[in-house]
Amino acid sequence: MTMLLTLEEAAVRLRPDGLISARSLRSEISAGRLQPTRIAGRIFVAESDLDEFIQAARQSALVPKGRAHADAIATKQPRARRTGAAPISSSAHLTAVADRLTRRRG
């Protein structure tokens, strides 16, 4: 029989020092990385699902990010300023960063 844990109990199992909260686990559930069990309006996590969540986290930590990750970072659009200005293109952003670095060097 699978033991069901409340989110608070699951958080303590993951990090007894309190660095993971029930709110953190709700975020993981919303992101689809942790499977919840709902009973009478309350959210529980099965021990087996918690174990699978831990294994998946371990596996993703072992996978190298690679070139695809670097490309995604390079093409990420910077946020627009609160002044309502349109976001600048990534090439313009990279040029601006390069100009600032050049000015700092001499």
Query: 10 and 50 share a domain?
Result: yes
Establish if 83 belongs to a structural domain: no
Residues 48 and 96 in one domain: no
CA max distance for the chain: 68
Query: Residues 11-46: pLDDT tens digits?
Result: 999 999 999 999 999 999 999 999 999 999 999 999
Q: 70 phi and psi, to 5 degrees?
A: -65, -40
Residue whose entry in the numeric block shows the structure tokens 């199992």:
13
Residue 33 resides in a domain = yes
Domain region containing 71: 65-76+89-106
Q: Is 51 in the same domain as 101?
A: no
* Residue 12 counted as domain residue: yes
Two tokens at 92?
């313009």
Return the higher-pLDDT residue of 66 and 48: 48
> What pLDDT was estimated at residue 83?
54
Q: How much is the pLDDT for 61?
A: 77
Task: Assess whether 43 and 70 both reside in one domain.
Answer: no
Residue-by-residue DSSP string for 35-93: --EEETTEEEEEHHHHHHHHHHHHHHHHS--HHHHHHHHHHPPPPPPTT-PPPPPHHHH
pTM above 0.85, yes or no: no
Residues 72 and 36 in one domain: no
- Higher local confidence (pLDDT), 44 or 101: 44
